[in-house]
Structure 1
Amino acid sequence: MFNPSRDQVRDFFIDTWSKHQNKQILTPLESIALNWIQQHPEYHGVLENPESKSKDFSVDQGQVNPFLHLSMHLAIEEQISINSPPGIKDVFQALAASSSPHEAAHEIMECLGTVLWEAQRLGKPLDNNQYLELLRQRVKRH
């Protein structure tokens, strides 16, 4: 399993944006990342600023970590593409049908964030059953 460091993740997104702006060829993964970067113009300035690589983004100060946000988009896209956990593809399609693919991804992201936080807090692996239950609850609300 690939487990990049914080700096490697940040370099990946910064380099992807730079390559796009310089009209360089992107890898398939960079192309997927670029799609999400383009859908988040509020992060472009961060990706163009080399100092952002070392910046801490404080939730307590109402800041969103753009690198984490984009990483979660990539993770969710991968989950949907392989339908893992089983059923996530159907959840995504149901959520996207009542909003948009991007909003559906954000709905899923909230559920993923909840189970990731809980796993870290308890020092346990991610609970796929809880994740799927949270996702199903989102679909019921739509």
Structure 2
Amino acid sequence: MFTQDRDALRQTYLTAWRKARAGEPLAPVERLIVEVAERHPEYHALLEQGESALGREWLPEGGESNPFLHMALHIALQEQLSTNQPPGIRRLYQGMIAACLGDAHAAEHRILDCLAEELWKIQRDGREFRPKAYLRCIKRRGSGQRPRA
């Protein structure tokens, strides 16, 4: 699933969705993609478009968010939780669920804001991932504070 080819990555999502709808067996990563997609009914029509969804651009300047990126962030968070990397992410996630009154999906979205911010800074500044900064952001989000720039 890990590739620099945007269309190939998007195709993985489309294939997983098609296979799930057809009742075909899914590889573990495809199951994860489908689980994430199922929690986002607003993306179902896009996933049903098939190949025509590959070349679409979503521009932040226009207030759009990229559904493929959003789902990828959910998957990245699931991977972090499964390995507890960075250390302490599971505990913070559980605390965030409590802060979101038991709504795990809402908790994930709060954490995804921090993950997206950290990834943006990595790209902008050409630096390494900073786990401590990422975890601090999550702690602030869990306490109701806005993340710092």
User: TM-score scaled by structure 1?
Assistant: 0.94
Correspondence for 1:40? 40
Unmatched runs of 5 consecutive residues or more in structure 2: none
1:1-142 correspondence runs (5 A)? 2-49=2-49, 50-99=51-100, 100-141=103-144
Q: Percent identity?
A: 34
Cα separation, 2, equivalents of 1:98 and 1:109? 15
Cα separation, 2, equivalents of 1:19 and 1:4? 23
Q: Secondary structure at the match of 2:54?
A: helix
Aligned residues: 142
Cα separation, 1, equivalents of 2:108 and 2:128? 22
Unmatched runs of 5 consecutive residues or more in structure 1: none
User: TM-score scaled by structure 2?
Assistant: 0.90
Measure how far apart 1:138 and its partner are.
1.5
Cα separation, 1, equivalents of 2:25 and 2:74? 22
Q: Which AA in structure 1 matches 2:136? A: E
Deviations 1:33-65 (A, max 9, x none): 111100101111111112110111111111111
Cα separation, 2, equivalents of 1:104 and 1:45? 25
Cα separation, 1, equivalents of 2:25 and 2:4? 22
Cα separation, 2, equivalents of 1:43 and 1:101? 19
CA contact (8 A) 2:37 2:43 kept: yes
Q: Secondary structure at the match of 1:141?
A: coil
Q: Which structure: greater helix fraction? A: 1
Deviations 1:100-139 (A, max 9, x none): 1111111110000111111111111121111011011122
Measure how far apart 1:7 and its partner are.
1.3
Structure 1 vs Structure 2 CA RMSD = 1.6
Q: Which AA in structure 2 matches 1:102? A: H
Q: Which moved more, 1:126-135 or 1:77-86?
A: 126-135
